[in-house]
Structure 1
């Protein structure tokens, strides 16, 4: 099974989306096909007998232009036919490759490929993997294509406006009695009509040619859309006027009027709307652009003991790379030499630089602050953390949530209904309208066709999803699925895993109660003994001592008794460290600290005892403490009316103690990993909409079962496949922000739909002329075209308002999170 992305040009509304999806889905071997109007991409999952080539042809047959890139890549090092076939085989295996042909004589590979699926850099790497060297290209074709589209739209808008303005002045001037005599003195009425015809023709058939090409294709496939409406509306105005100019006697008296200005203005205004859409769509993908800017362009790789600067695409795992102060880390890797501090705020959100030395991990895209580092590349290209983040955001933006699927179905029947309404409008006015009935019938029909263009409907959801997921990425919340934005908005129950989610996931030294001796000395001796232990509790004690800056002495005669404790000689003293049963077996008196032990155990802390030469020296406690911000996050969720529960495999006493600290009333304790999904399913059976928060490994079944799976991802463990969204920074307050963002996004989508559909439903009757018997008012086709264009711009700008969303504060109030349906917190 392969998955490819195909850029598609010529889409303008939801009916275009539906037509392409149906055409692709009908191909044998295609599993799923999703088309996104805002990104202009089709995502197709397929197997044999479907091929990339057949899918490209399917899109062309549907009347649209797939974005196919062709390049000539010089290849150095080929010497025979076997070299040629090796490079060709490697290139043709790449997903998104349509055709690859290698010529030994010219030493070039001619490739035709989908730039949305496979990059030129990936093609270069495939050539390198076969043992040959491509010559790098410096062009950024995708950005160039987008720029060309914007330039072409702007040029055609200007061209159309220059010709349309005189047409409007002529048409309007003839209607003003004071100017009519002046106009007639210069040219007769039919002379002005001829001039309007000459000016309008290039506006329609050059500047507006895209509407006629796409509209014809839509009608040819019996699936009319926005372009069909524009083509029929403007075409009807144009050809009616041409006929009125050339054969006026054919028309009833008083109806041989010119509507050239309506045709020209319609095309010009809709082109202007498209240009504004293009600009706004560019802004919706700002998040991806910002993430891409974090990628380094080159890397200083050590080859033959010399540092050589090479393109980032040429770096392979195992390369040794130098990073100087102030430079961006090019790829993920492990430090081998040097010490420095690295700004990892793009991953962790923490502004404080992180110390790096030998055997610590580096993440590509982070910034080296002050020291020089040499590291070994471990992950490059699409495997780096940053590349995975970008892929997650792109996938979420491309996915279609349920509300959009419903909108596409509605749009699929909306346009044919509008065309039926237009025909009925014409018949009604022509049959029952006042004289000249044909003129009235024509004006109202064209207005109905234009006012109903459904482009705003097609943009309502994808633009909001793009901005929302991009904003989430800025906040450290990665939506892996666009549908999660919608589902999260409806959740009423949050279930949290304990270890690694609610707590830090690693034991820490929390308490030290001295009985006799000097505190630092006792702790240093105890930690020295624990250096030989592999138990996590021992590691916590050693870390606690080192965090205090203590020097650990040498030990001898180390012995371990599993389940009890450990013993060693330190500085001439016998040190015993272990549980209470170990101390009792040794005959060590514990009565003096008995109350402290009970108190610590009640707080979910593990008490340990230290005896020196057979006498109790100290009581210490080790615990897995709550994460910073956990209590505040739970309080915020509960304050928003959401039920909060904890799910853990720990014993009930420990679980209850942690839950009490966190402020959680409902606890599912002693649950095995394979039973977690069943517990989530039981909650769903009670009618709950459940969001489960876990670490994405042993919690994978529960994450998959939940309505929304929220995976905790920190650092390079970010690529967690089980969750619908990932909290990059591991901070539970991100759940509150994610929920608030999802509510705001859903509210924006619904607002977009209310505007898009409400606008059409309200203005179609006006365009059809229902107000005429009462007010004498008819909607001018030019105004209808302008209003239609403005509706798309409104939807886009409304979606862009999501970019001003601020995490925390006013966004996490109960009214925002609960969307007006507060679910009371329950301790059941």
Structure 2
């Protein structure tokens, strides 16, 4: 059935259902013909057949898959058992010309389930709409420039990778690409949430959704429309919403245990009623059995976790916080130690060359080597070359002999930080006057220092306030950096209350994280996702800050699209709030079952009241999730 027919049929069946309930209450007191029709055995049985085998066929099919394909029992199998018990016992009563005592179970359980499904689907659509809004920003057309340099407006769907397109001033970039124009100005708010203009230079990657705030530019496309960075973000969020977390897996396991337990309890209730409470009363015994089955149906449990994660990840994405893995919500709550990389994380990562010392003839080989790197220092040096209008000659081949050692022509070149220099290393430059508290790189040619590059960087404007917030929340804060100790201490002193591990290699960072983990402390590592891959993999939770130079890392547990470390606390808040909603959702689901089963066993509840309370449990989970969704 189509969705429209489904909704119409549900509406009509609810009208009939309300009519039946009213007739059940008043048919003995009023001989009104409509009450008599609604209480007629054959009419009720017909509605039950329609509700169970036509309207509720979906649950029968799912019960079959649970039992014979997935080899487990769950909610759908309980629904199947309760409706079939009701139907076949009603056939027996029809044959015996008795009043149908249990027929309402097979009529109303599908009404309640379908209504819950409809509300859940509606809420999920509201969540999905937030993501579709992001994608709608990407233009559907672009200015294509062919081989003869003739411009034409074409659909972005038809543009291939490697095509040349033009973006006019104040237009939105339609496709990801590599900048051909020497430099350009873009508002990157759709990507990183920062409503300001940034400068990009030739060969830089730019992304669909950015707004060109400078002159007309050209770029070479690097991705198709469906695979743009913007699309990747939306797909990542959607993927997290559909992935099963470890917590959800544990709950699913609990449900597979819970379902057979409910069946056993229902059979026990049948025997208890038939042989003890209401001896030899088959109708009363079947009523207890059916009431337990329909009342204990774990419908709310099935939606409690997916809804919380879907809403939490969607709300976080709108703030620029991407939860790449569903378990990140649970793992965030266990974090006690937060480790930070320095460059590009606590500092802006907008590295500038303060001074270059050495023969300018080495600029070309240094530039070639830096083109191979994905580190803020490399970007800083390449920007320096652009500012002095130095063009890199790429005609000579560069070969990486071993990590960080390159052969250019006949010579070997290597970069080392100043703190690794020793008097045994020869130098053609006077190094005695260099200050120790500067970020300095030595360029070695055949193990002789031939050039010195002095860099400068600034703290992020939000770093100090963010560190204070995290300190106030009693997190143990640690800086792990490859920079020298004096620089690291200067930064830590300015930020306040932070342990420092300086002059660290990627491998030594692993040991530091491992030492904290041995103390039974959950460790989060925050880095720029470029040279921190090993640390990100080792930490219990990884957070990648995606900078204007490096947008494409969505592999960490959490990615911050805005290079603003205040978002770390926002991520913690979203994770905690999502977990609270998740736990309260499960509380309403499980608390209801714990409360309702004894009442059903005692015979106090009828199947109709049991189903109604089950439906209310589902509504409470949905309402709880909706409050989370619309909370500011």
Q: TM-score range by the shorter chain?
A: 0.7 to 0.9
Could you list the per-position Cα deviations for residues 418-466 of structure 1 after superposition, in whole angstroms to 9, with x for gaps in the alignment? 0111111111111112378223222222111111111221222222112
Mapped pair 1:153 → 2:1: no
Relative distance call for 1:435 and 1:170 in structure 2 (3 A) is farther
**Preserved CA contact (<8 Å) 1:325 1:368:** yes
Mapped pair 1:236 → 2:80: no
**Preserved CA contact (<8 Å) 2:296 2:614:** yes
Could you list the per-position Cα deviations for residues 399-431 of structure 1 after superposition, in whole angstroms to 9, with x for gaps in the alignment? 332221211110111111101111111111111
Q: Distance in 2 between matches of 1:417 and 1:234?
A: 18
**Preserved CA contact (<8 Å) 1:266 1:781:** no
Partner of 1:192: 40
Secondary structure of 2:483's aligned partner: coil
Partner of 1:742: 575
Consecutive unaligned residues in structure 2, runs of 5 or more? 368-376, 390-414, 417-428, 441-453
**Preserved CA contact (<8 Å) 2:171 2:212:** yes
Mapped pair 1:395 → 2:248: no
Q: How does 1:245-284 map to 2 (within 5 A)?
A: 245-248=94-97, 256-284=99-127
Consecutive unaligned residues in structure 1, runs of 5 or more? 1-147, 249-254, 511-525, 552-561, 564-577, 583-596, 607-620, 773-777, 807-828
Q: Distance in 2 between matches of 1:709 and 1:605?
A: 26
Partner of 1:67: none
Secondary structure of 1:330's aligned partner: coil
Partner of 1:290: 133
Could you list the per-position Cα deviations for residues 625-675 of structure 1 after superposition, in whole angstroms to 9, with x for gaps in the alignment? 212211111111111000001111222222212211121431112222221
Relative distance call for 1:357 and 1:732 in structure 2 (3 A) is closer
The count of aligned residue pairs is 572
Q: Distance in 2 between matches of 1:543 and 1:256?
A: 87
**Preserved CA contact (<8 Å) 1:277 1:792:** no
Report the alpha carbon displacement of residue 499 of structure 1 after superposing the two structures with TM: 1.8
Mapped pair 1:625 → 2:458: yes
Partner of 1:785: 611
Relative distance call for 1:286 and 1:188 in structure 2 (3 A) is closer
Relative distance call for 1:509 and 1:325 in structure 2 (3 A) is closer
**Preserved CA contact (<8 Å) 2:82 2:105:** no
Mapped pair 1:207 → 2:207: no
Report the alpha carbon displacement of residue 472 of structure 1 after superposing the two structures with TM: 2.0
Q: Distance in 1 between matches of 2:437 and 2:37?
A: 98
Q: Pick from 458, 470, 480 the counterpart of residue 302 of structure 2.
A: 458
Q: Distance in 1 between matches of 2:359 and 2:129?
A: 51
Relative distance call for 1:162 and 1:325 in structure 2 (3 A) is farther
Relative distance call for 1:172 and 1:459 in structure 2 (3 A) is same
Could you list the per-position Cα deviations for residues 150-170 of structure 1 after superposition, in whole angstroms to 9, with x for gaps in the alignment? 434313312422433333343
Q: Distance in 1 between matches of 2:347 and 2:183?
A: 30
Report the alpha carbon displacement of residue 708 of structure 1 after superposing the two structures with TM: 0.7
Secondary structure of 1:627's aligned partner: coil
Partner of 1:299: 142
Could you list the per-position Cα deviations for residues 255-314 of structure 1 after superposition, in whole angstroms to 9, with x for gaps in the alignment? 744443443222222221121121122223344323332333333322344333433232
Q: Distance in 2 between matches of 1:716 and 1:472?
A: 23
Partner of 1:720: 553
Could you list the per-position Cα deviations for residues 35-86 of structure 1 after superposition, in whole angstroms to 9, with x for gaps in the alignment? xxxxxxxxxxxxxxxxxxxxxxxxxxxxxxxxxxxxxxxxxxxxxxxxxxxx
Report the alpha carbon displacement of residue 527 of structure 1 after superposing the two structures with TM: 10
Relative distance call for 1:789 and 1:247 in structure 2 (3 A) is same
Q: Distance in 1 between matches of 2:122 and 2:557?
A: 30
Mapped pair 1:165 → 2:18: yes
**Preserved CA contact (<8 Å) 2:27 2:36:** no
Relative distance call for 1:530 and 1:695 in structure 2 (3 A) is farther
CA radius of gyration, larger in: 1
Q: Distance in 1 between matches of 2:78 and 2:358?
A: 82
Secondary structure of 1:709's aligned partner: strand
Q: Distance in 2 between matches of 1:160 and 1:755?
A: 28
**Preserved CA contact (<8 Å) 2:176 2:228:** yes
Q: Which shifted more, 290-299 or 673-682? A: 290-299
Relative distance call for 1:168 and 1:326 in structure 2 (3 A) is farther
Q: Distance in 1 between matches of 2:502 and 2:459?
A: 17
Q: Distance in 2 between matches of 1:677 and 1:638?
A: 23
Relative distance call for 1:622 and 1:358 in structure 2 (3 A) is closer
Mapped pair 1:428 → 2:428: no
Q: Pick from 48, 72, 78 the counterpart of residue 223 of structure 1.
A: 72
The higher-RCO structure (CA 8 Å, 6+ apart) is 2
Q: Pick from 532, 538, 545 the counterpart of residue 705 of structure 1.
A: 538
Q: Which shifted more, 384-393 or 645-654? A: 384-393
Secondary structure of 1:379's aligned partner: coil
Mapped pair 1:647 → 2:480: yes
Report the alpha carbon displacement of residue 540 of structure 1 after superposing the two structures with TM: 7.8
**Preserved CA contact (<8 Å) 1:273 1:790:** no
Partner of 2:397: none
Could you list the per-position Cα deviations for residues 3-60 of structure 1 after superposition, in whole angstroms to 9, with x for gaps in the alignment? xxxxxxxxxxxxxxxxxxxxxxxxxxxxxxxxxxxxxxxxxxxxxxxxxxxxxxxxxx
Could you list the per-position Cα deviations for residues 451-492 of structure 1 after superposition, in whole angstroms to 9, with x for gaps in the alignment? 111122122222211222222221212222111121112100
Relative distance call for 1:278 and 1:149 in structure 2 (3 A) is farther
Q: Distance in 2 between matches of 1:439 and 1:393?
A: 51
Could you list the per-position Cα deviations for residues 509-530 of structure 1 after superposition, in whole angstroms to 9, with x for gaps in the alignment? 89xxxxxxxxxxxxxxx99999
TM-score normalised according to structure 1 size: 0.62
Could you list the per-position Cα deviations for residues 198-246 of structure 1 after superposition, in whole angstroms to 9, with x for gaps in the alignment? 3443233222222233334444566332222222223323332333223
Secondary structure of 1:495's aligned partner: strand
Relative distance call for 1:259 and 1:281 in structure 2 (3 A) is same
Partner of 1:662: 495
Mapped pair 1:440 → 2:284: yes
**Preserved CA contact (<8 Å) 2:170 2:214:** yes
Q: Pick from 795, 798, 807 the counterpart of residue 624 of structure 2.
A: 798
